[in-house]
């Protein structure tokens, strides 16, 4: 289970400014219920001073999405629109005393909703419908422009981090190669001509000891990169597992997520393991649920971390039928 700060819990159980906002003159809608997260941010802006007098939200998503949206409304009330546009997704996470890396996409969604609401107030076009960039992740409808923007804004280095911040790559993993190409291009730009960009792990380990005590971004993310990035390990890689050992580890992961699913009257069971593809059976309320892709994506991320290799987690219905 993910660890949440007391402030995240507080904003989840007692969200501020939730519900419709009367006389809102700036409304931003982002995400989609089909993809698992959706957020509507409503602003009441004074037309003379362009100060945000009030802000409300409505969201469909997890506890982190509710907490991030609640925090955002508290942050921006009293700001001018220009000041509000400077609010980053990291500001939202910091306000909540941090978010689990796997839930940073909730703060990114809040930032996008704010941009959309301000654009709506100003009568400008704002779109996340992939007109600017090619669609990279079809599972969660994330395009190249959004990935590049989030990578640059948060200094991301790995596919895993991109998944945490955008959900891209958290489904079928078919887009991992496209994400890696975007990362490689951005790393080359960061390095500059005649320089060599340091590998993500080395950069994280080098930066961590020098970070000041309030540098929450480094303190939160450096350990994640060092521990869980499958392409680079701190120490020598473990000996290759036998199939039986691999299945045991997979069962351990499923056992760890089972209580969470059972609370929602669902369950999951291992069906088969074929190479790097793990087939599972979703049961009860999880079977046929509109959140199936998100559920499988979360399980897959835990499998990658536990096994130390890139694997796919698919429903048993996708398993090839033997001739």
Q: Which pLDDT value is given to residue 7? A: 92
Q: Which structure tokens are listed for 46?
A: 């004074």
Average pLDDT score over residue span 22-37: 81
Taking residues 300-319, what's their average pLDDT? Answer: 83
Q: Which residue has the higher pLDDT, 179 or 221?
A: 179
Q: What is the CATH number of domain 243-318?
A: 3.30.300.130
Is pLDDT of 112 > 80?
Answer: yes
Q: Which of 35, 62, 137, 286 is catalytic?
A: 35
String of DSSP letters for 163-187: HHHH-TTSSSSTTHHHHHHHHHHHH
Q: Distance (Å, rounded) from C-alpha 270 to C-alpha 83?
A: 50
Q: What is the CATH number of domain 6-121?
A: 3.90.1010.10
CB atoms within 10 A of CB 44: 18
For residue 172, indicate whether it is catalytic.
no
Active site residue 106: yes
β-sheet bridge partners, residue 30: 39
Look at the block and give the residue holding tokens 């088969």: 272
- pLDDT of residue 72 exceeding 90, the answer is yes
Of 38-47, 58-67, 205-214, 284-293, the range with the lowest mean pLDDT is 205-214
317: left (phi over 0), alpha (psi -120 to 50) or beta: alpha
Flag the least confident range among 8-17, 161-170, 239-248, 291-300: 291-300
The pairing of beta strand 277-284 with beta strand 312-315: parallel
Catalytic residue of the set 106, 137, 172, 175: 106
- Counting beta carbons within 10 angstroms of the beta carbon of residue 177, is it exposed (0 to 12), middle (13 to 18) or buried (19 or more)? exposed
pTM higher than 0.85 for the full model? no
The residue that leads in pLDDT, 166 or 207, is: 166
Task: Compute the mean pLDDT over every residue in the chain, rounded to the nearest whole number.
Answer: 78
| Domain spans in the chain, listed from the N-terminal domain onward | 6-121, 243-318
- 8 A C-beta contact, residue 15 and residue 22: no
What digits encode the pLDDT tens for the residues 248-272?
Answer: 999 999 998 888 888 778 889 999 9
* pLDDT for residue 52 is more than 90: yes
Instruction: Report the chain's C-alpha Rg in angstroms.
Output: 21
Residue where the block lists tokens 């990935």: 147
User: In CATH terms, are 6-121 and 243-318 the same topology?
Assistant: no
pLDDT beyond 90 at 40: yes
The answer on pLDDT for 145 being more than 80 is yes
Q: What is the pLDDT of residue 198?
A: 43
Q: What is the DSSP letter of 158?
A: S
Mode of pairing for the β-strands spanning 52-60 and 312-315:
unpaired
Q: Which two tokens stand for residue 97?
A: 């005393």
Q: Which residue has better confidence, 239 or 214?
A: 239
């Amino acid at each position: 289970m993910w660890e949440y700060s007391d402030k995240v819990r507080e904003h989840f159980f007692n969200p501020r400014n939730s519900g419709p906002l009367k006389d809102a003159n700036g409304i931003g809608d982002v995400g989609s219920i089909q993809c698992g997260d959706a957020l509507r941010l409503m602003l009441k802006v004074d037309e003379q001073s362009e100060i945000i007098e009030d802000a409300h939200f409505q969201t469909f998503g997890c506890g982190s999405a509710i907490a991030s949206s609640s925090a955002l409304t508290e942050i921006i009330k009293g700001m001018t629109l220009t000041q509000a546009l400077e609010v980053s997704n990291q500001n939202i996470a910091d306000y909540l005393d941090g978010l689990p890396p796997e839930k940073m996409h909730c703060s990114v969604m809040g930032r996008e909703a704010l941009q959309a609401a301000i654009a709506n107030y100003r009568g400008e076009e704002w779109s996340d419908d992939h007109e600017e960039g090619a669609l990279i992740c079809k599972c969660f409808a994330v395009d190249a422009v959004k990935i590049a923007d989030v990578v640059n804004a948060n200094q991301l280095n790995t596919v895993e981090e991109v998944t945490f911040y955008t959900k891209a790559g958290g489904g079928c993993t078919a887009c991992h190669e496209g994400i890696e190409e975007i990362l490689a291009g951005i790393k080359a730009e960061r390095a500059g001509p005649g320089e060599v960009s340091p590998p993500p792990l080395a950069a994280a380990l080098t930066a961590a000891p020098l970070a000041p005590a309030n540098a929450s971004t480094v303190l939160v993310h450096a350990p994640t990169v060092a521990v869980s990035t499958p392409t680079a390990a701190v120490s020598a890689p473990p000996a290759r597992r036998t199939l039986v050992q691999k299945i045991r580890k997979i069962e351990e992961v499923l056992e760890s997520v089972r209580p969470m699913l059972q609370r929602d009257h669902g369950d999951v069971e291992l069906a088969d393991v074929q190479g790097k593809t793990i087939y599972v059976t979703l049961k009860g309320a999880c079977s046929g649920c509109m959140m199936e892709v998100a559920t499988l994506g979360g399980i897959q991320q835990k499998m990658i971390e536990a096994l130390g290799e890139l694997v796919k987690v698919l429903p048993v219905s996708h398993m090839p039928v033997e001739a």
